[in-house]
Chain A
Amino acid sequence: MRPARTLAALAAAALSLSACGSGGPSGDGGTTLTITANAISGGKNAATADWTKNWLIPRFEEAQKAQGKIVHVLFQPNGVDDEQYKTKIALDLKSHAGADVIDLDGIWVGEFAQAGYIKPLDQTAGPEAGQWEGWSQIPPAVQSLGVFDGKKYGLPQGTDGRVLFYNKTLFAKAGLPASWQPKSWQEILDAGAALKKAGVPVPLQINAGTAMGEATAMQGALPLLVGTGSEIFSGGKWTGASQAVKDVLGFYRQVYTTGLGDPRLQQEAKGRDKSFQEFADGKIGVLAEGDYFWRSVVEPKAGVAPMPDRDKAVGYALIPSRRPGAGVRGQDFVSMSGGAVRVLNPNSPNAKLAWQLLSFMHSAEATKAGLAGEARITSRTDVNEEVLASDPMLGFVSEKVLPITSYRPGLAVYPQVSVALQEATADIVSGKSVEEAAASYERKLEGLVGGAANIAR
């Protein structure tokens, strides 16, 4: 009978091991919830990590205690590239594990939902999710960040806009105006040439290549594309090797083959982080980024590449269309917006409690605390109205950028199309011609979106 007893002991050990996972009862009979985000104290998105640990978790645990419930909330920090974070979360969810409340880029919602990794909120949290007080405060365009196929999967955290950041100190050295607003692509190139002449090592940084991942699409290829009046997906078709795409690649070619940009920076594994550091060190003249750059990168105290004199030295301008009036909807200036959402893990053993945590995280009080005095467009109108006036950059994005911005298509195949577009810019950076890069982009696109019938030229 000994083998049987050994087996029983093994089984017991296995059971007790599996009970140690998240959500299992802890020593004091309380429940444990886990939050994860691509944020880490002292590193990437430090403000979010600090807010989660120092404000959110103690407040939520206290609020639950007041109701007689013992709840422990753990924060799983990450500080990696967005693509790596996405892979990690996908693998977590695939193996029915992972945190209870998960931070996602809104653009991933479609593919995660199709894979069955996340479920609509009214399924995971129940009808409470539909009656949440916050919905009335979130504009539909922002709500749509967490929507796929007409169903709400996540609560949006806010939105953002892309602008051109420039170093005013370098501009003064090159004889360029302190309040700069280019009106065409040519004026960006002209400013770059002036900066180059004044000895600025890297006049322009327009993200390119695959190492930068989605940052290449969001800060480079897509805002340029809408600047030609075209969109990556419109009227049910994807944009192939059209004249618009060739114009975008042509602009890249001008930047990266004439010494206005640093091709190496686009190829290096950590090129984007390095570009931030170089901007902060006064080596880059103009850099296209989202307002994330302002509040988390060059932010004087908590930024990853802090600039103590940010408010004085860093200027921001709208991204111009190729020529005035040539942008999408006939606009003179363009931008791209996205935003992060938080979703519930459908495998969470404490889904109801996780929803309470999630909605608490998105309450007006928590949202305000999360700002901690920095500029960010939150999802909530009530909070935005209060904090809008305090920061000129926030005001600029909210008043000037959001009305003219564009969004990426919330389709599951988009991330793959984005990679094809990134590869086209990588081709340019490594010296290939516009025609070559465009042709190879169209070839890849055909394989992704199901043939030439779904492609517009």
Chain B
Amino acid sequence: MNTDAAGLGRARAFGFVLPALVLVGVFLIFPALWTIYLGLTDFRLTGLAAANPSLVGADNYLTALGDERFHTSLWLTVQFVLGSAVIGQAGLGFAIAWALRNRTGPVKRTVEGLVLLAWILPSSVVAFLWIALLDRDQGTLNAFLHTPGFAWLLDHPMASIIVFNTWRGTAFSMMLYGAALENVPPSHLETARLAGASTFQQLRDVVFPRITGHMLTNLLLISLWTFNDFTSFQITAGGPEGRSEILPVYIYNVAVSGGRLGFGAAVSFLVLLINLVLALVYLRLLRGRRGVAT
């Protein structure tokens, strides 16, 4: 069978792809390789090692892997991704999409509008709003709950940024699931209802099998986004004492604030590897599912 549908031939097809490949090379592959190289040096932001960095071999990588702060940070990131992306955004997003699926009119438009607003506002504005909300002295939340002086950001920094990020990013999951639910034929749901299926049974046996692909794609995207999300820095700066220092904040704190660019590059590369593994797992799941479907 002829696979060359456009009739371009190998050379011309390559010519068409070349600009894209060059862009990928310049902006993706070269920086990644450069990061690996920097990770092998003691490069710093200031001081002698800024002018003349020297190679230190795998020191940075080994230090990072043995660093307690890196372990803590990795564990916090796992909590952050599971809590705010997988449970928070995907769960809440689906719940809203499911609740609104048959609705039309002002209620649906208002809810969707509010959820979308949280998504499209600039992050610095949103961060300021949340600081004002959670501040222990003059915070809005403390005023509502009559709990003056309760330090949300100091006593529960992780919970605070997980709730924040759920609020912030639910819109994407909501829209994606909203579109996905339209793929579920109403007749199937009706049949299930007539057969006496409970809501849970309807979801499990009719809805989820139809939208597994959407769910996996959504989880892949939001997990990766959340894994690399930096917005929480503007609220807690990783504090207090690193108790909300997720990996992107950790890298910023050691590399840019602390000036250890070489070490930061090494950690960045480790994060890149984790991201790749995460993506591979999801893609694997997706492919396995397609294999079943066809």
Contact = CB atoms under 8 A, between A and B. Distances in A.
Interface of A: 83-84, 87, 90-91, 94, 108, 110-112, 114-117, 209-211, 264, 267-269, 274, 412-413, 416, 419, 426, 430
Given A83-B257, A87-B257, A267 B48 contact: no
A430 B240 contact: yes
B50 A268 contact: no
18 contacts: A84-B257, A87-B256, A87-B257, A90-B259, A91-B256, A114-B46, A114-B47, A114-B51, A116-B51, A209-B241, A210-B239, A267-B154, A412-B46, A412-B47, A413-B47, A416-B259, A419-B258, A430-B241
Nearest to B256: A87
Nearest to B253: A210
Interface residues of B, number: 22
A209 B154 CA distance: 14
A267 B257 contact: no
Contacts of B236: 269
Interface in B234-258: 235-237, 239-241, 256-258
B38 interface: no
B46 A117 contact: yes
Contacts of B256: 87, 91
A110 B258 CA distance: 16
B239 A211 contact: yes
Q: Is the interface of B mostly helix, strand, loop or mixed?
A: loop
Interface of B: 44-48, 50-51, 136-137, 151, 153-154, 235-237, 239-241, 256-259
Contacts of A110: 47
A269 B238 CA distance: 9
Nearest to B52: A116
Contacts of B136: 264
B258 A268 contact: no
A94 B45 contact: yes
A114 B258 contact: no
B46 A108 contact: yes
Contacts of B241: 209-210, 267, 426, 430
A108 B151 CA distance: 34
Given A111-B50, A115-B44, A115-B47, 13 more contacts: A94-B45, A108-B46, A114-B46, A114-B48, A115-B46, A115-B48, A115-B50, A210-B241, A264-B151, A268-B154, A269-B235, A269-B239, A430-B241
A96 to B, nearest CB: 13
A162 to B, nearest CB: 24
A115 B48 CA distance: 5
A90 B240 contact: no
B46 A267 contact: no
A64 to B, nearest CB: 33
B46 A264 contact: no
A274 B258 CA distance: 24
